[in-house]
Structure 1
């Protein structure tokens, strides 16, 4: 699914949040949005999801104006948003049941998706009985099970520890390679953006204006980011973050 932002402006009352954003996210592309906290990145996700309407301009999905939520576009939050009274299996199956799939088919598909995110054997556990990383794996299974054409991800791993976050990034990268959705990712972690993204768009403080784009489509996807040191340093410079020669502190000051 192509996702087009056609000179989008968004105000909340007198407060300008997005200022003339124009970009096309092509089918199968993963684009990361990076910028200071509160600059308008999440608002762009909400506009793409149909949860908000532009003050001016339009958002198009495959050439059609986005006028409200649709199953073809799934929003994934930092918090897993699993229902605590349902097992992991029932939580994942619910995404298909909402689309009127028979319960038996939904549960079988949920079982298969839990296995794909390395949660086989945990189907009948409740969210409070498993770790934060396992809950987020279940949330990924729930996001992918209905095969959305577009994933809108708002810091999906931001609440996890560093090692768990790296592991989940690998899981996400593998699922994207297999399922090929269009992905718009908001992250405060520059390393995460460099590892996952085909393109990175760097925003100014509110109201969100594009400072620069980085095209990474031809770079090998590996956690060894030494080959992207120049790009990392430039992104941090654009964000006003002082770093040492190794480019440290990539995911710290962005959240300030």
Structure 2
């Protein structure tokens, strides 16, 4: 017999289902998402109680539920209440997977009290925890959070470096400091094309002239990504237009990478418009 859809399950049944399978089990996450939608005090109380459980999986799932609970109608008071439940649990947590879940949950909530609580974990020996710290700090723009993200953009783990660089480069585009720019310049030498691309885009968004030649080399290279093309559009230097046109000519109409084609055509249109504006 097929299982009933998640919306028909009781809250007790949904919480039980969050524990099935591995960490990324689709059925477990569907139950978590249903709890996010259902919301209410009963769900909050159960999730908060699970933060104190002897089971690491229950503690992690409690954090997963709190992360986006009542996301459609979350008042500052609710955010503070959820954060109040998470912070003391984070302070005593030792399990790496649970620490990652709690840090990410705090990132979804966006309460500034999370920043000082997460800072000590930026040096955690487990890369998954450090990744959680990136997620936890991503929405914050205060000096301590940005300094930690700059530190994590130099992390030994590629995934941590990529997401920290993305956060600094694109997500925090409203921030423009010399130290942040230097952190992005440091990532231009990356062999990892996504990390390099995030750095290129972040510098291009800030119209940093140092990005032009590295960007030109990237567009001339054997592997060109959507990030490289987005950076060319953001920099608004029409000297890059011939390179983009070469890529358009090389594009096969049957090419399955529709996202790359769309980004490329948009960038070409934007730079061609700049050329026309200068000519008028």
TM-score scaled by length of structure 1 = 0.32
More helix by share: 2
Which structure features the higher share of strand residues? 1
Structure with the greater relative contact order (CA < 8 A, sep ≥ 6): 1 or 2? 1
Return the index of the structure with the highest Cα Rg. Answer: 2
State the TM-score, normalized to the length of structure 2.
0.30
